[in-house]
Amino acid sequence: MPRYRVIDPEQNVIEEKEFADDTKAYDWFKTVEVPDDALGYAMEVDMDGEWTRFEINDGGTNTSPAADEGTGVA
């Protein structure tokens, strides 16, 4: 199962978690880990041992937290 992590604006890892798909990981990032008005937080996914940027929070109101399926690891 793919592993995701949340990075704060100072580049510290604040949480890591496994998800079966990108949509669940994106929802976790947007609705649980990072408040909508917080800037500079990022989510990364472990792709074959390398962390790759998946999402960056630019603040604002998030009316639709679900990502399109297939945007990261399948």
What are the tens digits of pLDDT across the range 7-35? 988 999 999 999 998 899 988 888 777 76
Contacts of 9 by beta carbon, 8 Å cutoff, 6+ apart: 39, 40, 41
For residue 9, is it within any domain? Answer: yes
For residue 27, is it within any domain? Answer: yes
Q: How confident is the model at residue 62 (pLDDT cuts 50, 70, 90)?
A: very low
For residue 61, is it within any domain? Answer: no
- For position 37, what pLDDT does the model report? 67
- For position 38, what pLDDT does the model report? 76
Residue positions counted in the chain:
74
Separation between Cα atoms, residue 29 and residue 26, nearest integer Å: 5
Q: How confident is the model at residue 39 (pLDDT cuts 50, 70, 90)?
A: confident
Range of the domain at 50: 1-54
- Looking up tokens 């880990």 gives 33
pLDDT at residue 64 tops 50 = no
For residue 24, is it within any domain? Answer: yes
Over range 58-73, report the average pLDDT.
48
CA nearest neighbour of 34 among 48, 44, 47:
44
Number of structural domains in the chain: 1
For residue 71, is it within any domain? Answer: no
Average pLDDT score over the chain: 77
